[in-house]
Structure 1
């Protein structure tokens, strides 16, 4: 990095000026993903500031989601693989044996892995049962997955499927087969009509931060999708997304 100087006449705090310099280096790709930032000691020597000021500058970048602190190693530019999520179009290729996330990854030319965390019968939250038109206290088939893009967790999803649809099918297996669970539903003769999605931004829970390895202060996108097939809700998918890793794309008809 070229040497940058603090402006003593500026009303911007010194630690924020240092953070601005580092942010500029990251956004200009002078410091690329995975690169180690200058240490606290290096910043102290370069800017003539205290270690506390240097640490505050680095902490600003952590809060902004640009940097991660690795205990005993230092500060690194965060790997943030952006994924362009293709809205409802992503569901249209299940007949080719491709699940929606696979379609997104192919469109973005990204490599990915899926951690299947749980598959089995369990009770569902009241809000989910209401969306599925099921009585209070009903059990459903629950599928929990974590998606990683190039080794970085970006999404955590939980699907809830009525047992009357899932029981005795590959929907209840860890690997539901080509096209995912929607293709298995179509094997039963269900005809998909629409997908209703609600999206909001919020701060993550402690468990969500841990699963997605989020820096402190990083928000998530909370997406809830209800799939409607043959006149009935057949799945509710509750998804937590690293907001820094996704661009949501929707193409809407003009009339």
Structure 2
């Protein structure tokens, strides 16, 4: 019985995970898969597309499909949000990428809070927020789009309303304003991207995204930031360290 595309992809994935196929290696092409598994060319093509959509491989037109060379980003929530990190003047992103090449495109502006954001920040109708929109590119690969919303009455005319917030980032500046975030909640879901999102993150067709919404709270439980993040699912490993 011919193997299915999913079974072929599982076999190839196992070879990648075992180290038999290493980053940069060319995967077996459609003719080889057709011969090895006794399947139609379309099935072989679908198997390769599965690995591309999972972020394990990249297709190079006219050349073939190769094991992806980009090392996934390990996002450890506990480390990136630690007070000790921002007290040392380190950004949240330094926990994710360490010494890897990072380029950030930042846009900052004031606007009326969207209804859902206003609700999460406990703002009244028509209240203004400072919006910080960022696109993160690691080693020439777009990996995340993030948009933060902060009460304008709190952060207007501060470094938070500037592209460069300074050492320790926005949370360090909030601490200086007497509104230090000490607790966080995150909601996460996986979904398929819109065409606009797919283009912005340069995603291969069929690649899902991770949508994370984080709210930051002060010691008196005041919400001071909502951050909506969109991650290329193929570029990330999410780690949470929990204790009972």
Same fold (TM over 0.5): yes
Q: What does 1:97-136 correspond to in 2, within 5 Å?
A: 97-106=89-98, 110-136=99-125
RMSD of aligned alpha carbons: 2.7
Q: Is the 8 A contact 1:194 1:229 kept in 2?
A: yes
Match of 1:240 among 216, 225, 230: 230
Q: Is the 8 A contact 2:171 2:180 kept in 1?
A: no
Distance 2:70 2:167 in 1: 28
**Segment of structure 1 superposing worse, 91-100 or 48-57:** 48-57
**Post-superposition shift, 1:32?**
2.4
Q: Is the 8 A contact 2:210 2:233 kept in 1?
A: yes
TM-score by length of 2: 0.83
* Deviation by residue 1:40-83 (Cα, 9 ceiling, x = unmatched): 45656777866444423322323343222234443222344233
**1:156 is matched with which residue?**
145
Q: What does 1:126-205 correspond to in 2, within 5 Å?
A: 126-205=115-194
Distance 1:183 1:245 in 2: 28
Q: Is the 8 A contact 1:40 1:55 kept in 2?
A: yes
**1:62 is matched with which residue?**
52
Question: Which 5+ residue runs of structure 1 have no aligned equivalent?
Answer: 1-9
TM-score by length of 1: 0.80
Question: Which 5+ residue runs of structure 2 have no aligned equivalent?
Answer: none
**Post-superposition shift, 1:143?**
1.0
* Structure-2 change in CA distance of 1:207 and 1:117 (3 Å): farther
Q: Is the 8 A contact 1:80 1:244 kept in 2?
A: no
* Structure-2 change in CA distance of 1:119 and 1:55 (3 Å): same
* Deviation by residue 1:94-119 (Cα, 9 ceiling, x = unmatched): 0110111212333xxx5141322421
Matched, 1:76 2:76: no
Question: Aligned pairs, how many?
Answer: 241
